Amino acid sequence: MIEVTGPLGARYAEILSAEALEFLAELHREFEPRRRELLALRAEREAALAAGGTLGFLPETEHIRADPSWRVAEPAPGLVDRRVEITGPTDAKMTINALNSGAKVWLADLEDANTPLWSNVVEGQLNLRDAIAGYLQYVSPDGRRYFPRQDGELATIVVRPRGWHLTEKHILVDGERIAGALVDFGLYFFHCARAQLASGSGPYFYLPKLESHLEARLWNDVFVLAQERLGIPRGTVRATVLIETFPAAFEMEEILYELREHSAGLNAGRWDYMFSVIKKFRTRGTEFLLPDRAAVTMTAPFLRAYTELLVRTCHRRGAHAIGGMAAFIPSRRDPTVNETAFAKVREDKTREADDGFDGSWVAHPDLVPVCREVFDNVLGDRPHQLGRTRDEVRVDAAQLLDVAATGGRPTEAGLRNNVSVGIQYLASWLRGSGAVAIFNLMEDAATAEISRSQVWQWLHNGVTLDTGVPVTRELVERIADEEIARLDADPDRYAEARALFTEVAVADEFVDFLTLPAYERMP
């Protein structure tokens, strides 16, 4: 039995057809038991870490890492040159802007930059299908119409579904919620796979929040079944995995191996990675204590080890290595801010290109030329750097775990920023917007997770700020009131977001993902 409990808006039936829903139901019945088993394994590993355990390279998969013979599939059409990738949600305006941006790839985000409001879930799929069919348009409030351009190259669409931990409450199969990941993947694949193939591209995906190669194996099995059911040649699907959890950093080769016939590489998902570092070792005291979020740069030793290993791992196996997000949002009113920020973006992208990355992410179209110029200077006419295998790189578990070498300390300014960003972001998230410009940065669920998890870690590990004041719940509550007052807005507008932030930032029990309780507050 398949039940849609969400309201049916205009054209929703085009996406939620009987055939598409039957396809989702088959995916759910086949893979839901394994999804739950893997989530239980996550919880077991987290409990072991809390009890004093650690992370390391798996002895049982050493033979995969030691075998030099295997490689992933050759780059698919549209994914050969990935020097600039832009990310953003799938509303009509962003879809058109991203496709027209000049980036090689658009990460069409159904995850961290998107709120899973029911209308966003379905209408995002409509926008993707319309864009591929060539008749998507956006009408601005002043009546101007915008379309994907006909006179130049459009970005290749790569869809990011939700992570394995999230469910979709508006679609029930046999009385159970279906995984959000399967909804997002299944609807896009069902409606767009053949059309993408006909256009010379293919059904491509970014896979978020994986914590093990077993979770990659589950995705690979989903791809195999989906291709068989729809008569799509096996190996047509391509997936880039975000290495954005601490455990996944120790299983990069195994993840590539599990997805090798469908693999398009790995991405250094830096923001979620920082969140995961805090989350996994949040109760372990100063050894894993990070300073202010703004003070943790990609030159920190544990992050350098992570990115160097990622490039070496990918290129050894013929896979693309894609760099992290530049979250800066240009200001139309303050050229001084822009000058400083553009210099930092250029420095960041130069480091990635010099390290051997094949491309990198930006959050705003104005940053596409900056990223492109940097990678053009390194790549020239070459589409990638797969030939740079970085054999000189040697990274061990101790280097990946060396968070303590980051240096710095928590400050009151950092605490205030975390509280303010967390509350402002959640206020927007609950209203349906998952990508929010705050203090000239594009904040999404990953960056908001850093903000709230740092507050929790500092509070529960007896941290004293640079002012000599200890972090207490009372201090956080007072700062929350003060920061809301600074926003020059009706405090009632932020009441629900403030309550949610308190739930995920200062409660005794740490909530795995802030989006879990936030989603239950949505219609």
Catalytic site positions: 160, 444
| Residue 380 Rama label (left phi>0; alpha psi -120 to 50; beta) | left
**CB within 8 Å of 509: residues ≥ 6 apart:** none
Size (the chain), residues: 523
| Residue whose pair of structure tokens reads 């002012």 in the numeric block | 467
Nearest to 160 by CA among 87, 91, 110: 110
CA distance 241 to 377: 26
Q: Where are the alpha helices (DSSP H) in 177-235?
A: 180-198, 213-230
Q: How many CB atoms sit inside 10 A of residue 233's CB? A: 9
Query: Which residues partner with 106 through β-bridges?
Result: 86, 157
Nearest to 243 by CA among 263, 285, 272: 272
Residue 203 contacts residue 192 (beta carbons within 8 Å): yes
| Residue whose pair of structure tokens reads 């050493």 in the numeric block | 62
Query: Which residues partner with 167 through β-bridges?
Result: 179
CA distance 522 to 481: 24
Pairing between strand 145-146 and 138-139? antiparallel
Identify the sign of the CA torsion 207, 208, 214, 218: negative
CA distance 249 to 255: 10
Phi, psi of 266, rounded to the nearest 5 degrees: -130, 155
- The end-to-end CA distance of the chain, in Å, is 23
